[in-house]
Amino acid sequence: QQQVRQSPQSLTVWEGETAILNCSYEDSTFDYFPWYHQFPGESPALLIAIRPVSNKKEDGRFTIFFNKREKKFSLHIADSQPGDSATYFCAASDHNNNAPRFGAGTKLSVKP
């Protein structure tokens, strides 16, 4: 049962462009939506997160857009840099003691 769907599977952008990564979910009880990034040989690390009280969250070049009605959220990476190349995971969780579910990941490559 895939509760969090992520697309695209892989994405290549040029340096300076905006990368857009998409996720959707099914369970209406989800109320916390983080994004993690994972560099080769390392563990996932929290990048940015949002709760449904907001429809947008910004942190530097990283922005989450959240659409509660359509059950979708996306990560926008502005002015992409080669150092942003990594696998990005979206996740969703609720407060009912159910462990977060992760999307399948998007492998982002930023070409100089």
Binding residues for another protein restricted to 66-85, rule: CB under 8 A: none
Six token digits for residue 72 = 């979708």
Q: Peptide bond before 100: cis, by omega within 30 degrees of 0?
A: no
Please identify, among the stretches 15-23, 33-41, 57-65, 67-75, the one whose residues bind another protein according to the rule CB under 8 A: 33-41
Nearest-approach distance from CB 69 to another protein, in angstroms: 21
Nearest to 103, CA basis, from 79, 72, 77: 72
The rounded distance, in Å, linking the Cα atoms of 45 and 43 is 6
Taking the least distance from each CB to another protein, the nearer of 36 and 73 is 36
Distinct helix (H) and strand (E) counts, the chain: 0, 11
Taking the least distance from each CB to another protein, the nearer of 74 and 87 is 87
Q: Which residues lie near another protein (CB under 8 A)?
A: 31-32, 34, 36, 38, 42-46, 49, 87, 89, 93-102, 104-105, 107
